[in-house]
């Protein structure tokens, strides 16, 4: 077995049993990155020296009998998390020289628990996108390809495309990611791995480059549901440095995976049966529900009546918050600076040179919906609908324990497809934005393949702060699906 083939849990066991060292495990991943990253472009920055030093220190701690829960495990960090002394770009030219002097709370929690960081992984610029094609550092390639069309290069999804591609191709055992409208769940589904967006407030946002602050959440991607559970336990926790961080206990999520689904009521929202969804995705959804029934759950149709407003609501709220958050990139305090004749000229030149087309579009939409004449008509209206969407979920969860839907309306698409019209790209998020608007946990589980041999995911949405039930349901689907297919591009292949 190639060392990069371990699951995260398997690697921890192997390290505990002394079958290999963290230095060996880390070196195997660095070698895999050297071999495959020139093609995949998943990593923006590889911190090989630092990784090996961390691995060596980790092996020493283990030898001294003080191993943390993630002792010696090599991970990839989305380049939206500030890492002390390591360049953090947010996928943008405007931050291409930004070296944060501090560590994000989430990445710091992982280091506290013994993790090794291989480097920083690619993403859509400022996490705006569903294809990882808006990155200033070039697109990421999905390690999967269509069986009958292996030459068409596919997107890994976005915005956490580097995280998902790196984990699927075995260039890391797990990765951090963030999800504002689907950026953990959609790339996980496109790359045949698992990923969870936890409840809003579960993970601290301190030190994560902000996109839309009321929607942004950090979460893990990994090759199994249980691996996500292990990572989330380390990432999560109250942080006084984030005023929206929730002061609630962090349970043993991995233990919850094995709970089973007997007696659980699973909601199936009828509004998610969208016209135009490929029949394979409909069929997989039915199959997933059948698997849960076979394991003792009951499935019931529910209604989330305001679902059809979720996408337009998201694409008002998210750009509005983004336009405000991105005002800080002015060329004065940090990041890129262009020369200007005066201060205003400096701002304008810096922002024009630093931001890509999608980011500029969002800033323009955001400032428009927040402007004096349109605030009531768009932004305030969107906030009201957001409250109704949340109320739909509250009512549904009075009657069910979890909700199961498809994760995405399609499998991974080609790098040149869906690029001509931004709204076509926005439709990718139709099944995922609702959980962000309502602040609820959502897990994507690799559940099957389409006719082209590409992975498809199912989504499990749960009550706020009930990730344990979400993990139990996700684990049950994963066990039944027995997803063993592998991408063509991967280490050790
Ligand atoms: N695709 C969505 C967007 O472009 C979601 C992005 C995200 O979750 N960061 O806004």
243-252 tens-digit pLDDT: 999 999 999 9
- Separation of alpha carbons 426 and 365, rounded Å: 14
pLDDT at 122: 98
For the stretch 76-91, what's the b/e string if a residue is b when 16 or more beta carbons lie within 10 angstroms of its beta carbon? bbbbbbbbeebbbbbb
pLDDT higher than 90, residue 148 = yes
Strand partners for 74: 116
Nearest Cα residue to 386 out of 328, 448, 318 = 318
pLDDT higher than 90, residue 334 = no
Residues 291-309, mean pLDDT to the nearest whole number: 98
pLDDT higher than 90, residue 341 = yes
pLDDT at 108: 98
In the chain, where are the structural domains located? 3-147+154-260
User: Chain-wide mean pLDDT for the chain?
Assistant: 97
Strand ranges in 19-71 using DSSP code E only, listed in sequence order: 43-46
Q: For a pLDDT cut of 70, what percent of the chain falls above it?
A: 100
Q: Can you list the alpha helix ranges (DSSP code H) found in 200-275?
A: 225-235, 253-257
Task: Determine which residue's CA is closest to atom 4 belonging to ligand 1.
Answer: 129
- Separation of alpha carbons 236 and 231, rounded Å: 9
pLDDT at 423: 87
Residues 211-242 pLDDT 10s: 999 999 999 999 999 999 999 999 999 999 99
pLDDT higher than 90, residue 1 = no
Residues 356-376 pLDDT 10s: 999 999 999 999 999 999 999
Residues 412-443 pLDDT 10s: 999 999 888 888 888 999 999 999 999 999 99
Q: Hey, which of 122, 130, 164, 418 would you mutate to test ligand 1's pocket, going by the most ligand atoms within 8 Å of its Cβ?
A: 130
Q: Which residues contact 261 (CB under 8 A, 6 or more apart)?
A: 292, 295, 296, 297, 472, 473, 476
Ligand 1 centre and the CA of 184: distance in Å?
9
Q: Hey, which of 162, 164, 178, 183 would you mutate to test ligand 1's pocket, going by the most ligand atoms within 8 Å of its Cβ?
A: 183
Q: For a pLDDT cut of 90, what percent of the chain falls above it?
A: 96
Q: Which atom of ligand 1 is nearest to the CA of 315?
A: 10
pLDDT higher than 90, residue 401 = yes
pLDDT at 419: 83
Ligand 1 centre and the CA of 155: distance in Å?
15
Q: Which atom of ligand 1 is nearest to the CA of 127?
A: 9
Cα first-last separation, the chain: 11
Q: Could you say which of 3.30.390.30, 3.90.1300.10, 3.20.20.70, 3.30.1360.200 is the CATH number of the domain covering 3-147+154-260?
A: 3.90.1300.10
């Amino acid at each position: 077995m190639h060392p990069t083939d371990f699951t995260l849990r398997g690697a921890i066991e192997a390290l505990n049993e002394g079958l290999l060292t963290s230095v060996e495990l880390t070196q195997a991943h660095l070698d895999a990155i050297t071999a495959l990253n020139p093609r995949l472009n998943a990593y923006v920055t590889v911190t090989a020296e630092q990784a090996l030093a961390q691995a060596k220190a980790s092996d020493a701690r283990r030898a001294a009998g003080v191993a943390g829960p993630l002792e010696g495990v090599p991970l990839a960090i989305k380049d939206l998390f500030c890492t002390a002394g390591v360049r953090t770009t947010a996928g943008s030219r405007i931050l291409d020289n930004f070296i944060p002097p501090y560590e994000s709370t989430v990445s710091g929690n992982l280091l506290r628990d013994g993790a090794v960081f291989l480097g920083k992984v690619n993403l859509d610029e400022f996490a705006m996108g569903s294809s990882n094609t808006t990155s200033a550092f070039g697109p990421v390639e999905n390690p999967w390809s269509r069986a009958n069309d292996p030459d068409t290069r596919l997107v890994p999804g976005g915005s956490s495309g580097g995280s998902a591609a790196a984990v699927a191709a075995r260039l890391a055992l797990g990765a951090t990611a963030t999800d504002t409208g689907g950026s953990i769940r959609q790339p996980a589904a496109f790359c045949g791995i698992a990923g969870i967006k936890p409840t809003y407030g579960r993970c601290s946002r301190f030190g994560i480059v902000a996109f839309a602050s009321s929607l942004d959440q950090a979460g893990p991607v990994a090759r199994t549901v249980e691996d996500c559970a292990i990572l989330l336990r380390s990432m999560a926790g109250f942080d006084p440095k984030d005023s929206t961080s929730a002061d609630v206990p962090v349970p043993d999520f991995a233990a919850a995976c094995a709970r089973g689904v007997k007696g659980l009521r699973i909601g199936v929202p009828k509004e998610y049966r969208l016209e135009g969804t490929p029949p394979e995705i409909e069929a997989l959804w039915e199959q997933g529900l059948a698997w849960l029934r076979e394991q003792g759950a009951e499935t019931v149709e529910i209604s989330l009546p305001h679902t059809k407003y979720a996408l337009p609501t998201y694409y008002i709220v998210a750009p509005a918050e983004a336009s405000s958050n991105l005002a800080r990139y002015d060329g004065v305090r940090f990041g890129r600076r262009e020369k200007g004749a005066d201060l205003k000229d400096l701002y304008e030149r810096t922002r024009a040179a630093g931001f890509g087309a999608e980011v500029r579009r969002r800033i323009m939409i955001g400032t428009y919906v927040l402007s004096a004449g349109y605030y009531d008509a768009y932004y305030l209206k969107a906030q009201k609908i957001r409250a109704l969407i949340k109320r739909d979920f509250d009512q549904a969860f009075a009657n069910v324990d979890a909700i199961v839907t498809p994760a995405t309306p399609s499998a991974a698409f080609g790098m040149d497809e869906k690029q001509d019209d931004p709204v076509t790209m926005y439709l990718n998020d139709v099944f995922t934005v609702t959980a962000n608007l309502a602040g609820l946990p959502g897990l994507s589980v690799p559940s099957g393949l389409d006719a082209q041999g590409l992975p498809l995911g199912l989504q499990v949405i749960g009550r706020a702060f009930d990730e344990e039930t979400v993990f139990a349901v996700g684990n049950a689907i994963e066990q039944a699906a027995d997803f063993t297919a592998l991408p063509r591009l991967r280490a050790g292949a």
